[in-house]
Structure 1
């Protein structure tokens, strides 16, 4: 899909989960089970979990995305990450629920704002309201808190050029009486 839209191949550089349960090393407790929901691992350089990996000497990247109309960051874990169980948040965080977004935001206004900012969202330009920028906290404020707590340092600051969001389609089919499909509206 990336090649079709942009005419180039996309090379995966790094990938990490932000919802997981896994066994990890901790200096105070040795081996522990860590449960992260909406958070990601932040192993600094020299962490035993990185031994023998590409990231052993640098620490692995910490990816903290902002909204699709705000800065996203690549950070380097700091030794202070031990204080948060080697975890940092996986994004700026919501300030508006999905339901509130669909009730209070104007589709036309949001689409116009993104178009004027030069940010392509999906192929049709319709921004999913529950993923629009007003739904999220300022990424800069969140990053300031992460850096201020000594959990990580900023390596790169990235501005979005495009945002692709998977959806279940604008219209879904439900089976009514007799098994016949009925058209329903999705929340987009």
Structure 2
């Protein structure tokens, strides 16, 4: 639900209207399909790098020239995975709307359940900058184009590109918008989440799921988990403080804060 609104005008333009409003965030991609695409093309690139005289220190950075046959094949396959992810989120959104309609006895349209924004963030995009046409790879980052950008649909050219920034299950999440400065300074890119301070394996070694469950209960957060080790992976201490990270990109001018969202329910799986 809405916790704080920093920019009422932009928030209203994006459909965020008040503190009693319920907002649903969906975070998922193409799952196994996208992973398979990456695994298959890492093998293809490992072989082709020798032909193109490319060396890398880590085989997970295997690559090919963008305009090569292998590069174009991968770019098409990656876009197929992105389309699968969009369809995946669309199906989940439909199921959420159906669930709300069932519980409240009114249609999703009557409840005003409109989409704010949907974006693919772990992806390579062909974009034009002062330096020329570039392939911009974003991983754990997301696009943040400013107002008036020709890359944006008309509806977002007044506000700047919406930036959805998810926190951990213990913290809030944020809605931001991109800026012209982001285009100049970071190739139109900003944070997508707070980022981890430790790996999943390290989190499991640091905290026990049962212990975390009890700590959360004392704070009024009730957790039902099939796997206690899976719960430990998502411990708040495994993530940076999202408010501090959001504040830093806001001060840097590459995104502007619009609203802070407080979790009232979280489903992972």
Using structure 1 for the length normalisation, give the TM-score.
0.77
Tell whether the 8 Å contact from 1:122 to 1:165 is kept in structure 2 after alignment.
no
Tell me the residue number matched to 2:81: none
Tell whether the 8 Å contact from 2:225 to 2:231 is kept in structure 1 after alignment.
no
Alignment pair present for 1:97 and 2:199: yes
Tell me the residue number matched to 1:186: none
Tell me the residue number matched to 2:166: 65
Q: Which residue, 108, 113, 137 being the options, matches 2:240?
A: 137
Superposition map of 1:23-172 within 5 A: 23-26=126-129, 28-50=130-152, 52-82=153-183, 83-121=185-223, 128-166=231-269
- Which digits, 9 at most, give the CA deviation of each residue in 1:120-178, with x for residues without a partner? 54576966211121110001111121012110111001111111111xxxxxxxxxxxx
Alignment pair present for 1:12 and 2:115: yes
Tell whether the 8 Å contact from 1:119 to 1:163 is kept in structure 2 after alignment.
no
Higher strand share: 1
Tell me the residue number matched to 1:185: none
SS in 2 for 1:102: helix
SS in 2 for 1:147: helix
Distance in structure 1 (CA, Å) of the matches to 2:115 and 2:216: 26
CA drift at 1:119: 3.5
Q: 1:31 to 1:129 in 2, by over 3 A?
A: same
Q: 1:106 to 1:156 in 2, by over 3 A?
A: same
CA drift at 1:98: 0.5
Distance in structure 2 (CA, Å) of the matches to 1:104 and 1:59: 40
CA drift at 1:75: 0.8
SS in 1 for 2:151: helix
- Which digits, 9 at most, give the CA deviation of each residue in 1:38-71, with x for residues without a partner? 1000011101101x43212211211111211112
Q: 1:44 to 1:121 in 2, by over 3 A?
A: farther
